[in-house]
Amino acid sequence: MTLSIGREEVAAANLCSSVTTTIKDLSCAKSHESRAPAAMLGFAKVVMEKTMHDKQVDASRHFDGLTITVPHHATKEPHCHSIIGQKLLHVDWKRMHGLDVACPRCHQCCLVNDRTNFSKNKTLFPTFVVEGPPRWCMTVSMKCPSCRVRINLNSGEVLSTSPGCARLGYPVEPKHAMENKNTHLGKSTTTAMDLLMPTCGDGDLISRLLHNTIN
């Protein structure tokens, strides 16, 4: 995988080098309190700088819907090696799909992008799935110019009113995407819970599955 920047390309090895430089920056490491691995935070920073903030780059060439996957590359750097294949999501319907989001509260106008959790607090929002490590999300917080409400784009009330082609890019059922939660359970996890809860009667097995998957 490569990231195109104008006429130049950043190879996976160079991307890894940028991530390594970022996570070794002590001032950067001390500036956040996040549950995400340091390497994923570094990857998110590099992705934002190399794709989203560079006007010459077509971000859609590097994302599958909302998702970019940490590329495979030959590296001896343990931090980068530990996140190969993991997924980072950028939940921004306007930027990634060209969609305006109507305010689900007042229905008077469209929401306006304000900031992401990563740009404000250097944190990533985890979505736990049973088929691998958490999907770490940079999610946009939007404001309504009319009623002044602030809503995250990965909340259930926004997901439930979004077009299906866009909603499928976020791996969470809208009914389980609570606004006041700081984590989400992915579709694979809630599907497993639907099958196991009637017979097991508690969430202990699911908790152990998620714990073993995160490793």
Assigned token pair, 183: 């984590």
pTM, two decimals, is 0.84
**How close are the terminal C-alpha atoms of the chain, in Å?**
26
Determine the pLDDT at residue 11.
57
Determine the pLDDT at residue 1.
45
DSSP secondary structure code for residue 57 in this structure: S
Determine the pLDDT at residue 110.
93
Q: Which of 178, 179, 153, 161 is nearest to 96 (CA)?
A: 153
Spatial separation of the C-alpha atoms in residues 74 and 194, rounded to whole Å: 40
DSSP secondary structure code for residue 48 in this structure: I
Assigned token pair, 194: 């639907």
Determine the pLDDT at residue 212.
84
Continuous segment of H or E residues that includes residue 97: helix 93-97
Determine the pLDDT at residue 3.
47
Determine the pLDDT at residue 164.
84
Instruction: Mark the ranges of the chain whose per-residue pLDDT is less than 50.
Output: 1-10
**Cα dihedral angle (24, 29, 30, 34), rounded to 10 degrees?**
-160
Determine the pLDDT at residue 49.
85
Spatial separation of the C-alpha atoms in residues 212 and 215, rounded to whole Å: 5
Strand ranges, E, within 70-124: 87-91, 112-116
Determine the pLDDT at residue 136.
95
Alpha-helical (H) ranges within the chain are 12-23, 26-29, 38-47, 78-82, 93-97, 117-121, 156-159, 164-167, 187-200, 204-214
What number of residues does the chain have? Answer: 215
pLDDT in tens, 91-140: 998 888 889 999 999 989 999 988 899 988 889 999 999 888 999 999 99
